[in-house]
Structure 1
Amino acid sequence: MPSENLLIILGATASGKTKLAVSIADELNAEIISADSRQIFKGMDIGTGKDLAEYKIGESQIPYHLIDIVNAGEKYNVNVFKEDFYQALTTITQKNKLPVLCGGTGMYIHALLQNHELTAIPKNEELREKYRELDQIQLQNILKQYPKEHTAHVDLSSVKRLTRAIEIAAYLKDHKLKPVVRPTLNPLVIGLQSDVEIRRDRIIKRLNYRLDNGLIEEVETLISNGVDPAVLTFYGLEYKFMVSYLQNEFDLAFLREKLSIAICQFAKRQMTFFRKMEKDGVKINWLNTDQDFELLKSTSIRLIDANFKK
Structure 2
Amino acid sequence: KTAKAIELAQKQPSILISADSRQVYRGMDIVTGKDHPAGFPIFGLDIVDPGNPCSVAVWYEAVMPAIVQAWQEAKLPIVVGGTGLYVKALTHGIETMHVPINQALRNELLSLSIIKLQQKLVQLDKAKFESLNHSDSLNPRRLTRAIEVAQHRTSHPERALASRMGHMDTILIGLKYSVESIQRNKIQERVISR
Q: TM-score, length-normalised on structure 2?
A: 0.76
**How large is the Cα RMSD of the aligned pairs?**
3.1
How far is the alpha carbon of 1:119 from its aligned partner?
Answer: 1.7
In 2: Cα distance, 1:203 partner to 1:130 partner: 47
Following superposition of structure 1 onto structure 2, how do residues 54-69 of structure 1 map, counting pairs within 5 Å? 55-56=37-38, 61-69=39-47
Q: Deviations over 1:247-283 (max 9, x none)?
A: xxxxxxxxxxxxxxxxxxxxxxxxxxxxxxxxxxxxx
Q: How does 1:28-67 map to 2 (within 5 A)?
A: 28-52=12-36, 55-56=37-38, 61-67=39-45
**Percent identical residues:** 34
SS in 1 for 2:173: strand
What is the rounded CA distance, in whole Å, between the counterparts of 2:92 and 2:132 in structure 1? Answer: 14
Shift of 1:152: 7.8
Structure 2 runs not aligned, ≥5 long: none
Q: Aligned with 1:117: secondary structure?
A: coil
CA distance in structure 2 between the aligned counterparts of 1:90 and 1:171, rounded to whole angstroms = 28
Q: Is the 8 A contact 1:29 1:98 kept in 2?
A: yes
The yes-or-no answer on 1:161 pairing with 2:142 is yes
- 2:99–2:149 CA contact under 8 A, matched in 1: yes
Give the structure 2 partner of residue 275 of structure 1. Answer: none
| 1:180 Cα deviation after fit | 5.0
Q: 8 Å contact 1:31–1:100 — kept in the other structure?
A: yes
Query: Partner letter of residue 38 of structure 1?
Result: R
Contact kept in structure 1, 2:93 and 2:164, CA below 8 Å: no
Residue of 114, 122, 128 corresponding to 2:100: 122
In the superposition, the TM-score normalised over structure 1's length comes to: 0.50
Answer 1 or 2: which has greater strand percent.
Answer: 1
Counterparts of 1:162 and 1:181, CA distance in 2:
22
Residue of 114, 128, 132 corresponding to 1:134: 114
Instruction: After TM superposition, list the pairs within 5 Å mapping 1:30-109 onto structure 2.
Output: 30-52=14-36, 55-56=37-38, 61-109=39-87
Quote the offset at 1:192 in angstroms: 2.2
Distance in 2 separating the partners of 1:102 and 1:142: 39
Asked whether the 8 Å contact 2:109–2:117 carries over to 1, the reply is: no
1:185 equivalent in structure 2: 168
**Counterpart of 2:177?**
194
Structure of higher RCO (CA pairs closer than 8 Å, 6+ residues apart): 1
Provide the secondary structure at the position in 1 that maps to 2:66: helix
In structure 2, relative to structure 1, the CA distance for the partners of 1:80 and 1:141 (3 Å cut) is same
**Other structure's SS at 1:110 match:** helix
Supply the distance in 1 between the matched residues of 2:29 and 2:121 (Cα, whole angstroms).
41
Q: What number of residue pairs does the alignment pair up? A: 185
